[in-house]
Chain A
Amino acid sequence: MLSDDIQVRLHGVTRIYPAVEGGKAVHALGPLDLELREGEFFSVVGPSGCGKSTLLDVVAGLASPSSGSVTFEGRPVAGEVPDGIGVVFQEDASFPWLSSYDNAAFALRRAGLPEAEIRERVEHTLSFMGLLPFADAYPAQLSGGMRQRVCIARTLVTRPRLLLLDEPFGALDQQTRLLMGDELLALWRETGATVLLITHSLDEAALLSDRVGVMSARPGVFIDRVETGWARERDSRIVAEPAFGRVSGRIWEGLRDQSIKALESAR
Chain B
Amino acid sequence: MHGAADVEPVVTAEAPPGPRSTALADTTLVIIAFVAIWQLASWIIGRDILPAPVATLRRLGAIMADEDFSRHAWETGRAFGTALVIALLGGLAIGLALGAHRLSGEVAEPILVALYSIPKITLYPVILLLFGLGISAKIAFGVIHGIIPVAIFTMNAVRSLRGVYFRAAKAMRLSPLQTAATIIIPATIPEIVSGFRLGFALTLLGTLIGEMFASQRGIGYMLVKAMETNDVLTVMALALLLITLATIASAILLSLDRKLHKRALPT
CB distance from B203 to the nearest CB of A (A): 27
Which size bracket describes the interface of B in this complex? 20 to 34
CB distance from B158 to the nearest CB of A (A): 15
B173, closest chain A residue (CB)? A81
CB distance from B106 to the nearest CB of A (A): 16
Q: B182, A91: Cβ atoms under 8 Å?
A: no
| Residues in chain A near residue B263, CB distance under 8 A | 96-97, 138, 140
Given contacts A80-B170, A80-B173, A83-B173, is CB(A110)–CB(B178) below 8 Å?
Answer: yes
Given contacts A81-B173, A97-B189, A110-B178, is CB(A92)–CB(B264) below 8 Å?
Answer: no
CB distance from A174 to the nearest CB of B (A): 22
CB distance from A232 to the nearest CB of B (A): 27
Residue tally, chain A, CB below 8 Å to B: 24
Kindly state the separation between the CA atoms of A62 and B163 in the bound complex, as whole angstroms: 13
| Residues in chain A near residue B173, CB distance under 8 A | 80-81, 83
CB distance from B265 to the nearest CB of A (A): 5
| Residues in chain B near residue A83, CB distance under 8 A | 173
Given contacts A83-B173, A138-B263, is CB(A93)–CB(B186) below 8 Å?
Answer: no
Q: What are 23 contact pairs spanning A and B, CB under 8 A?
A: A62-B167, A80-B170, A80-B173, A86-B171, A87-B171, A89-B167, A89-B171, A91-B162, A91-B164, A92-B265, A93-B168, A95-B165, A95-B183, A96-B187, A97-B187, A97-B260, A106-B182, A107-B172, A110-B172, A110-B178, A139-B265, A140-B262, A158-B172
Q: Is the interface of B mostly helix, strand, loop or mixed?
A: helix
| Residues in chain B near residue A80, CB distance under 8 A | 170, 173
Q: Is the interface of A mostly helix, strand, loop or mixed?
A: loop
A97, closest chain B residue (CB)? B186
Tell whether B119 is near chain A: CB-to-CB under 8 Å.
no
B163, closest chain A residue (CB)? A91
| Residues in chain B near residue A158, CB distance under 8 A | 172
| Residues in chain B near residue A110, CB distance under 8 A | 172, 174, 178, 182
CB distance from B31 to the nearest CB of A (A): 33
Interface positions of A from 72 to 107, Cβ below 8 Å from B: 80-81, 83, 85-87, 89, 91-93, 95-98, 106-107
